[in-house]
Amino acid sequence: MSAEDLRAVVINEVFSPNPDELARYERLIAAVDRARASGAGAVTFEGAMVDEACLPRALVRARPTAALAGQTPPNTKFR
């Protein structure tokens, strides 16, 4: 393995979300989707107010392949 490969492994380990973070992002996406479906502009999520402005970061972190491809995953279409 080259030095560049090793750097990539370390960078991925340091900057990739852990399983708990991934689960939280998925819960956030679901909460915003439910709020949107009910016509609400914001929702309380785990003690904090969140709205659609929180969604892009959650999508990029939880579903990076779709975000990098420029796709919006199902059930997360922006108005």
- For residue 11, tell me if it sits in a domain: no
Is 78 domain-assigned? yes
- pTM > 0.85: yes or no: no
The reply to whether 67 falls in a domain is yes
Domain that holds residue 40: 19-79
Helices 55-62 and 19-37 meet at what angle, rounded to 10? 140
Task: Write out the chain's pLDDT in tens, 79 residues.
Answer: 788 888 888 888 888 888 899 999 999 999 998 888 998 888 899 999 998 888 888 888 888 766 666 655 555 554 4
**Which among 19, 34, 23, 22 is positioned nearest to 75, based on CA atoms?**
34
